[in-house]
Amino acid sequence: MSIVYENYDYENPILTGENGVEVDYKGKWKSEVFNNPGNLCLELACGRGEYTLALAKDNPNENFMGIDVKGARIWRGAKNALEQNLKNVRFLRTRIEQVDLFFDKGEVDEIWITFPDPFHGKDNRKLTHHKFLDRYKYLLKDGGWINFKTDDDNLFDYSLKSINSYQGANILYKNDDIYADELPFKELDYKTHYEKNHLAEGKKIKFIRFTL
């Protein structure tokens, strides 16, 4: 069974599934792909999907999808999901700029953004730039939230400013050193390969949970 869906042509928003067959699950991911009415959670720029898999293991009644543009990373995440028999995991290979093309309005319940590229000097490529927040707002159901986790001081500060200046946004929780005290959410204790490296280097891990 293939659990990966891909968009090969960024100028043509078509997805292919198993054996390269064209598919269209916009508005139907829960009913036709996961066969599960539970929440749908996306991990954006998921890399090898370590957070996607950790969330899926602890929440078997919910649906999780990792999204990234790098095929090799997606392949590794999908392989691990299949080896662990995680039936509530899928992966989507596409650019984050196009994520709103493949889901219906309000179809997504929650979003995770974990240790994205800080794109220093390129604000419009940061995943908390207003152009991305516009896309997330379209995807999320009313009251759905976004979780943002980073080790980068500049990206954290930029993200706070971007969220605070976005009309209708509301920060539910923020912390510039989540491991200094008891974790407020158990999901924050999942550690990716990159996070372990950051912690070994003495970096502080920062987190924002917000709605749009």
Kindly name the residue from 24, 58, 104, 117 that is annotated as catalytic.
117
211 membership: H or E segment, kind and range: strand 206-211
* Residue 117 designated active-site: yes
Contacts of 20 (CB under 8 A, 6+ apart): none
Q: What is the DSSP string of 111-148?
A: EEEES----TT-GGGSTTSHHHHHHHHHHEEEEEEEEE
C-alpha to C-alpha distances, 83 to 62, 120, 121, nearest whole angstrom: 19, 37, 40
User: Regarding beta strands 206-211 and 170-175, do their DSSP bridges make them parallel or antiparallel, or are they unpaired?
Assistant: antiparallel
Backbone φ and ψ of 23, nearest 5°: -135, 155
Sign of CA dihedral 178, 147, 39, 102: negative
3-class secondary structure, 55: helix
List, by residue number, the catalytic residues.
117
